[in-house]
Amino acid sequence: MFKQVVPVNQQRHAGKKIKQVEGFGFASQFHIAYVTTHEFVRSAAIYPLVFIEDKEKDEFRPVALLGLDAGENLFVGADQKWAASYIPAIIRRYPFALSQAGEDGRFLVCVDEGSELFNDTEGSALFDDKGEPTEVVENVKRYLSELQQMDAITGEFCKFLAAHNLFVPLNMRVRQNDKFKNISGCYVINEERLNNLSDELFLELRAKHYLPAIYAQLTSLSQIERLVMLKDEKQQPLAA
């Protein structure tokens, strides 16, 4: 998705503009999208939610499955419109992102200079004639700051699940046209282990407000069938 991410800078980006997002072609080849726990309930009604393991950082991250194969986003149509009522926040924030400035907890607002939305002539300016950040930049700062807080909470959620051995590899077989496809390489919450937690641990889950996210993830797996249907619909014109 991101090609050339650099910190937003008045000297470097004076006169630069950002066009309003009118299509999601930039996300058409992404089959997963990171989601925070705050997004689980809304996302679970549309996307299967799973966890992927980052072995280098020794952590798990939740993602929404957007396709059954790498390089495929079944929710972006030929018209580049998003074919669902909820769009993950990581997609909506494009072409902006946060980058950690150091070990003191500071973050910098960054922009993807390789994005088609970033240009010299169309859209809203990043800086005004006096070199001050415009409302566009200030709104992005607030939005990304909120996402960063959600990201921190999501990280603690995943650490808790991992510490109590609540992750299990997903192995699911679905029928696609006249063939079967195995879905693997990711993790889900183990419902059996969840149900066998001690009363003390279960109450801790409730106190941390983790239960809605946990049950949303478990129920979201039924949306894999939605992906199969979308895949079949896209392949039918090709077969014809």
| 145-193 per-position pLDDT tens digit | 999 999 999 999 999 999 999 999 998 776 666 666 677 789 999 999 9
Rg from Cα positions in the chain: 20
DSSP-derived letter for residue 18 is E
The tokens for 72 are: 């495929």
Least confident of 55-59, 104-108, 124-128, 153-157: 104-108
The tokens for 129 are: 């004639």
Percent with pLDDT over 70 in the chain: 92
Q: How many domains does the chain have?
A: 1
For residue 240, what pLDDT is reported?
47
Side chain identity at residue 100, one-letter code: Q
**Cβ atoms of 10 and 127 closer than 8 Å:** yes
Q: Which domain holds residue 198?
A: 5-239
Residue 105 pLDDT exceeds 70? no
Helix/strand/coil for 235: helix
Give dist(CA 166, CA 173) in Å, integer.
22
Give dist(CA 13, CA 19) in Å, integer.
14
Give dist(CA 79, CA 24) in Å, integer.
9
How does residue 238 score in pLDDT terms, banded at 50, 70 and 90? low
Q: What is the pLDDT of residues 193-212, one digit of tens each?
A: 999 999 999 999 999 999 99
The tokens for 147 are: 């996402």
C-alpha dihedral, 106 to 147 to 140 to 142, nearest 10° = -70
Residue 104 pLDDT exceeds 70? no
Which residues in 127-145 are b (16+ Cβ under 10 Å) and which e?
A: beeeeebeebbeebbebbe
Give dist(CA 3, CA 135) in Å, integer.
25
- Is the overall model pTM greater than 0.75, yes or no? yes
**Residue of 1, 63, 60 whose CA lies nearest to 30:** 1
